[in-house]
Amino acid sequence: MLYNEPSPLETRILSRRFGLPNSAALDTYLATDGYQAFRKAVGMKPEDIVNEVKISNLRGRGGAGFPTGMKWSFVPRTSPKPKYIVVNADESEPGTCKDRLLIEYDPHQLIEGCLIAGLAVDAHKGWIYIRGEYRYLIEIMDKAIGEAYQKGWLGKNIQGTGVDFDLYTHTGAGAYECGEESALLESLEGKRGVPRIRPPFPAVVGAFQCPTILNNVESICAVPPIILNGGQAFADLGVPKAGGTKLTCLTGHVNKPGVYELRLGFPVMQMINEVGGGMRNGKKLKAFIPGGSSCPLLTAAECEGATMDYDSMAARKSMLGSGGVVVMDEDTCMVKAALRIMRFYAHESCGWCIPCREGTTWLRKVLIRFHEGGGTREDIDLLGDVAKNMLGRTFCPLGDAAALPTISIVEKFREEFEDHLNGRPCPFEHAREAVLV
């Protein structure tokens, strides 16, 4: 059973097996072109595999949007050290719940992606780092891996091709920070999830001090269709500098929240109104987060003409991010939203870098004061000030992830902070209580 009805406006490439009977089984996978891309890749030169991924214009789907083919090309293929593949399934950016479905419905697509990545950089071992809360996915993935070993799609001399590859799952234990690539590697090695200084990047010094391809689940799952149908076909689905589709998690105040696979460049308003079935209770749109709570928010006016791709969001000083779309209606208190977002970052800051550890804690305190009606006019500027002083001063992007949405909310919804000044209770909370009674 699917979690939500598919939309006719979807372009289902990575999600095309979702909803098939026994979609996670090897037989289903093989009956629907499964492992054909691996067979094709075995006959290709490694540099041609990397090149095909470059042609596809695939950009990292975890949130940063770095070109995947270029990341692969940084791995020193001829290094005498072993090379590794690590898949980031630590999905924990608030608003994001797509990798969950890719593993639940199509684990073999992920295995095949790992095999092809292995061929590209001469890696023979890989780990799928799955967040601890997703225990049922670890069981699904372990079962698929077991089936692949049994039928000769993993292990030694895969299908007589001479290729060896071992793949394992690895559970996290509850830490947003471990979704950051270098902290994930620390965690994989059995340590606290604190970030590493870069360079060297994981492509050169990654897991266990060896060259490593580290990609998000969705990025790796895009590889089999790219190899099978050609990079150009994938590129053509998107916009000029970003190819393919994006699994988009519609959340918040829409009538039909759900995960939908949409072409990059899909218009924001059409996504809300047609894919998402419009605003809940016929309310007006107030604010929009394009891809997880780390992204600066857009106002309703900024959503007009915006499209779901990297450049359109960059032009609006935001980011496409992870695909975790959050839609907020006119009754949403932006001070409360800012506070909830900051409580999250303050809880998840690993404490390694002081600007992030102290900054998130102070921002949380000031926002609590505001929401309780104790804010002062100076506090509005203080919020922006503290947040701006965190930018670019940390080892990993968590500090920026906490600061950016705060800066955008304070700038774009300043009047709501003014409405909370000098002991006035939250006007939205008041309206909400009245409705609930």
Partner 1 sequence: MTFSAELETRFEKLLKSYPAGRERAAMIPMLMYAQDEIGSITDELVEEVARRVGVTSLQVHEVVSYYSMLHRKPMGKYHVQICTNISCLLWDADKLWEQATKKLGIGHKEVTADGQISLEEVECVGACSWAPAIQVNYDFHHFVTPEKLDQLLDSLGKKQ
Interacting residues with partner 1 (CB under 8 A): 3-4, 82, 91-97, 99-100, 125, 127, 131-136, 168, 170-176, 187-193, 208, 249-253, 257-259, 289, 293, 324, 326-328, 332, 336-337, 340-341, 344, 347-348, 350, 436
Considering the complex, what minimum distance in angstroms separates the CB of residue 54 from partner 1?
30
Those residues whose C-beta lies under 8 Å from the C-beta of residue 414, and which sit 6 or more positions away, are 380
- Comparison of 292 and 359: residue with beta carbon closer to partner 1: 292
* Comparison of 135 and 424: residue with beta carbon closer to partner 1: 135
Minimum distance of partner 1 from residue 15's CB (angstroms): 13
In eight-state DSSP terms, residue 242 is B
What's the residue count for the chain?
Answer: 437
Beta bridge partners of 288: 298, 327
Phi, psi of 377 (to 5 degrees): -60, -40
Q: Which residue lies nearer to partner 1 by CB, 18 or 35?
A: 18
> How many Å apart are CA 292 and CA 111, to the nearest integer?
26
CA distance 343 to 363: 9
CB-based contact 120:266 (threshold 8 Å): no
Q: Do 191 and 352 meet the contact criterion of CB atoms below 8 Å apart? A: no
Task: In angstroms, give the least distance from the CB of 261 to partner 1.
Answer: 13
CB-CB neighbours of 329 under 10 Å: 18
Closer of 52 and 218 to partner 1 (Cβ): 218
Q: State phi, psi for 399 to the nearest 5 degrees.
A: -60, -45
Q: What are the φ and ψ backbone dihedral angles of 339, each rounded to 5 degrees?
A: -65, -45
Residue placing its CB nearer to partner 1 in the complex, 53 or 357: 357
Residue 88 or 332 with smaller CB distance to partner 1: 332
Q: Reduce the DSSP state of residue 246 to 3 states and report it.
A: strand
Which helix (H) or strand (E) segment holds residue 259: the answer is: strand 258-263
Q: Which is nearer to partner 1, 33 or 133 (CB)?
A: 133
Nearer to partner 1, 137 or 306 (CB): 137
Neighbours of 377 (CB within 10 A): 11
Structure tokens at 60: 């990292």
Pairing of strands 245-252, 324-329: parallel
Instruction: Name 324's bridge partners.
Output: 249
Name the nearest CA neighbour of 329 among 268, 271, 425, 251. 251
Burial class (CB within 10 angstroms; exposed 0-12, middle 13-18, buried 19+) of 129? buried
Of 108 and 125, CB closest to partner 1 = 125
User: What is the nearest approach in angstroms of partner 1 to the Cβ of residue 259?
Assistant: 5
**Which residues have C-beta within 8 Å of that of residue 275, sequence separation ≥ 6?**
7, 9, 10, 250, 256, 260, 262, 266
Nearer to partner 1, 116 or 338 (CB): 338
